[in-house]
Amino acid sequence: MAMQAASSALDVEAPVGVYAPERSLLVASVLSMSGGFLDAFTWLSLGGVFANSQTGNVVFIGVYAMSGQWQQAAHHLLPMVAFLFGASIAIRIRAPLRCLVGEIVCLAAAMLLLHRVPDMVAILGISFGVALQSASFRQVERWKYLSTTVTGNMFRAIDQSVATSDRDAARGAGVMLLLSLMFLLGAALGSFATRWLGAWSLALPIASSMHVLWFCRRHRDRRDQG
């Protein structure tokens, strides 16, 4: 019974129509900022590889493959494989908070082992953890978004701004633009922190994810008690 209670402490996705704190603008903003931070960190610390932006990795695979630099191409291919694997697990289990715990564990392991193990091992761990989180948190209020990139969010902002002119559409456009700016802010902070703190800068996205976990659990507990 104790193990069953511990397992159910992290709830699965809330049904549609029920308030879910993981769909709040605060959570989406924090995770988007963390996404930009981690892209800057991995780019600066791990040989120009992106943990989040698989579009960037695809570009580099094409560039290196066309010039016959297969080792460099593989350097960008393997994080994509880890990302897809993590995303497939997150989509299958549909348990956002458990996946967030998984991301925290992966980032903590990378922080403690960075440069003590081959860099590719750290890259794979970060990409896998990021995928667990990003595939689990894909809705802010009533709109879809991605915490690992800005291109899709900018397109959604444009869709909302030109498709209709009601207040709801204006808010949707504003939300998407805000998340894009939070990603930019995270990238700037990641660049600054990585240069000054090195591997220990990962403590910042770990703390952000822990805050999201605490926020979601607190609100779910209040909902259940109510």
Question: What is the structure's pLDDT at 164?
Answer: 61
Q: For residue 104, give the nearest of 79, 134, 82, 130 by alpha carbon.
A: 130
Question: What is the structure's pLDDT at 113?
Answer: 93
pTM (predicted TM-score) = 0.86
Question: What is the structure's pLDDT at 9?
Answer: 44
Q: How do beta strands 143-144 and 139-140 pair?
A: antiparallel
Regions in the chain scoring below 50 on pLDDT: 1-9, 12, 16-17
Inter-helix orientation angle 70-93/119-136, to 10°:
30
Question: What is the structure's pLDDT at 170?
Answer: 81
Q: Which amino acid is at 27?
A: V
Question: What is the structure's pLDDT at 210?
Answer: 97
* Cβ neighbours of 63 (radius 10 Å): 13
**Cα–Cα distance for residue pair 168/24, rounded to 1 Å:** 16
Question: What is the structure's pLDDT at 83?
Answer: 94
Question: What is the structure's pLDDT at 225?
Answer: 65
